[in-house]
Amino acid sequence: MLAGKRILLIIGGGIAAFKSLDLIRKLREQGAEVTPVLTKASEEFVTPLSASALSAQKVYRDLFNLTDEAEMGHIELSRAADLIVVAPATADLMAKMANGLANDLASTLLLATDKRVLIAPSMNVRMWQHPATQRNLAVLQADGILVTGPDEGDMACGEYGPGRMSEPLAIVEAVAAALVDGPLKGKKILVTSGPTHERIDPVRYIANRSSGAQGTAVARALSALGAEVTFVTGPADVAPPEGVKVVAVQTAAEMLEAVQNALPVDAAVFAAAVADWRVASASNNKIKKSKAGLPKLEFAENPDILASVAQMKKGRPGLVVGFAAETQDVIENATAKRDRKGCDWIIANDVSPETGIMGGDENAVTVISDKGADSWPRMSKAQVAARIAAQIAEALA
Ligand code: CTP
């Protein structure tokens, strides 16, 4: 997957640094050449010898080592790379990057490069949630730095929450997404996914059974072909893919706003199971049981996000793809839905409980376009996604 790719791996000084040794191994298994750079602090966690042995490369440690500068100056070092990966990216390294500091080898390399940079943050949960770190994160993302993780879980310090470095395999996936020169390189694609939650009161909401699995798989497959993916997701059961821009929303109204902010794009895929209705006036206080009778909920219609984009007069994406979740007369209903909404393709599936598709790992779809209806055999959602992505690449070529 990464044959011939050169990765400069900056290992920051955090407890997750030990996982970076495994990351070196996994990147090399994919054919990448990895040159490690250790910060002073990371040498407290991993030794230059182990990084050098696992990478089979010289390890760079000190900005002012004249021999290193003569062999390959720090500017050369970052120029020679296809991608710079910072793993673990500590709060301190992120702060330096966000502010353009260059007072050691790692931060100097990061400032001196014009190559893409991927960071895998890792720190204590409170440090991660601190407004300063979140501010730095926003700056880095605006600068085009790619971010993977952090994951949520038990931390070395005994606390629980977001702050664990992504697992090495997930980082490899993000590296591949950043580096592959797929047929969708340079294309911007929007994907919506997951259910929406519509508020009844502060503690209750209306939802649906969508897991977000198919939309997530489509976003991952598009990203694997090199697309720059914006992934607008409701509260899904599955984690979003690495290497895509994730915008998390709760309600249909928030999803519409996020979609509008993501435009213009070359293609848009609407895989979200958007709630058709919201509660007309959600209560600000918890609705209490009352002798006066049962609560009555009045509904209001949600905006149709797919239709609003498919019917844009100006700036419409070149290709608009919808999904149709049906339980009867699947092809007839989906064909009518395609006409009504104005999208180019609609991907119809039967979500009756006996199919096990909603919430399951497999899907059986029919792609309806102006060429007619094309029914695919039942296969995994990942395979469906790969085929959809390949067809999108063909359509945009
Ligand atoms: N969709 C949307 N916004 C909505 C409702 C649906 O963007 N408010 C999109 C979905 O993401 C999907 C397509 O429209 O791509 C069809 O969704 P589906 O739930 O099958 O259709 P509905 O419009 O809800 O029609 P119905 O409930 O009558 O089947």
In sequence order, the 6+-apart residues with CB closer than 8 A to the CB of 284 are 201, 202
Contact 235, 197 (CB under 8 A): yes
138, 157, 169, 203: which one is catalytic? 157
Contact 118, 83 (CB under 8 A): yes
| Strands 228-233 vs 146-147: parallel, antiparallel or unpaired | unpaired
Query: Mean pLDDT, to the nearest integer, of 217-244?
Result: 91
Confidence of residue 301 (pLDDT cuts 50, 70, 90): very high
One-letter identity of residue 74: H
Q: Is 157 among the residues known to form the active site?
A: yes
The pLDDT > 70 percentage for the chain reads 97
Confidence of residue 64 (pLDDT cuts 50, 70, 90): low
CA of 182 to the centre of ligand 1 (A): 30
Ligand 1 within 6 A of 276 CB?
yes
Query: Mean pLDDT, to the nearest integer, of 9-29?
Result: 96
Q: Which long-range contacts (CB under 8 A, 24 or more apart) does 73-79 make?
A: 74/105, 74/108, 74/109, 74/112, 75/112, 77/8, 77/35, 77/37, 77/109, 78/8, 78/109, 78/110, 78/112, 78/113, 78/115, 79/113, 79/115
HSE on the CB side for 103, CA within 13 Å?
6
CA separation for the pair 224, 243 (Å, rounded): 9
CA of 367 to the centre of ligand 1 (A): 16
Confidence of residue 241 (pLDDT cuts 50, 70, 90): confident
Ligand 1 within 6 A of 163 CB?
no
CA separation for the pair 151, 167 (Å, rounded): 8
pLDDT in tens, 113-168: 988 899 999 999 999 999 999 999 988 887 778 899 999 988 777 888 889 999 99
Q: Specify the pLDDT at position 74.
A: 76
Q: Specify the pLDDT at position 72.
A: 66
Per-residue pLDDT at 71 exceeds 70: no
Ligand 1 atom nearest the C-alpha of 309 is: 7
Ligand 1 within 6 A of 252 CB?
yes
Ligand 1 within 6 A of 270 CB?
yes
CA of 217 to the centre of ligand 1 (A): 19
Question: What angle, 0 to 180 degrees and rounded to 10, lies between the N-to-C axes of helices 91-99 and 131-142?
Answer: 50
Per-residue pLDDT at 77 exceeds 80: yes
CA separation for the pair 305, 316 (Å, rounded): 13
Count Cβ atoms below 10 Å from residue 96 Cβ, excluding itself. 20
Confidence of residue 355 (pLDDT cuts 50, 70, 90): confident
- pTM over 0.95? The answer is no
CA of 226 to the centre of ligand 1 (A): 28
CA separation for the pair 24, 9 (Å, rounded): 8
Q: Specify the pLDDT at position 311.
A: 98
Ligand 1 within 6 A of 240 CB?
no
Give the chain's mean pLDDT: 93
CA separation for the pair 118, 107 (Å, rounded): 14
Q: Which of 214, 276, 340 to mutate to test the pocket of ligand 1 (most atoms within 8 A of CB)?
A: 276
Contact 81, 8 (CB under 8 A): yes
pLDDT in tens, 324-354: 999 999 999 999 999 999 999 999 999 888 9
Q: Specify the pLDDT at position 31.
A: 95
